[in-house]
Amino acid sequence: MSSMAERRLDTPREQGRTWRPALDPDAVGRGAEAFARFMGTGRFLLYMTAFIIVWVILNVVGLVGRWDPYPFILLNLCFSVQASYAAPLILLAQNRQDDRDRVALEQDRQQAERSLADTEFLAREMAALRIALSEVATRDFVRSELRALLEDLTEREPETGPAAAADDARATPQA
């Protein structure tokens, strides 16, 4: 009785042994997914069809005894039990798939945002390069300017040609 007197109501009780089994939620979820995946296969339908045919034949012919006569109430009860377990397990598997899809969608959205940011950055860089290149003389521009200067020089030379211009340059005294 002293332990009852010492226990206070404002402190939580210590965790002791429990009669409930410890279940890992992920293990239950994986099992539900495996069950739902199996129920959606042709193999399951084949097994279920074979089971029903054997059940009906054994009960109609009566080789082993008629434990479930014609209305097959026990068979219907088995179907009901199977459905009562299958529905929540399928829903659990769908919820887990929805969670995975939600995570994948969020990752895809983040990747799309990063790709958009990279694309915008590259577009700004290309625009900056185009602006910078518009100020740089291109090869065609330099050639056209040199041709224009050559034409100006040929127009300025006296009628005698380039040799006379060279003689004139030699004749002028240099200081």
pLDDT surpassing 60 at residue 10: yes
Instruction: Map out the domains of the chain as residue ranges.
Output: 24-154
Question: pTM, whole model, 2 decimals?
Answer: 0.52
Average the pLDDT over 95-119 and give the result. 95
Task: For the chain, give the mean pLDDT.
Answer: 84
SS3 track for 56-120: HHHHHHCCCCCCCCCCCHHHHHHHHHHHHHHHHHHHHHHHHHHHHHHHHHHHHHHHHHHHHHHHH
Average the pLDDT over 36-61 and give the result. 90
Residue-level pLDDT at 106: 97
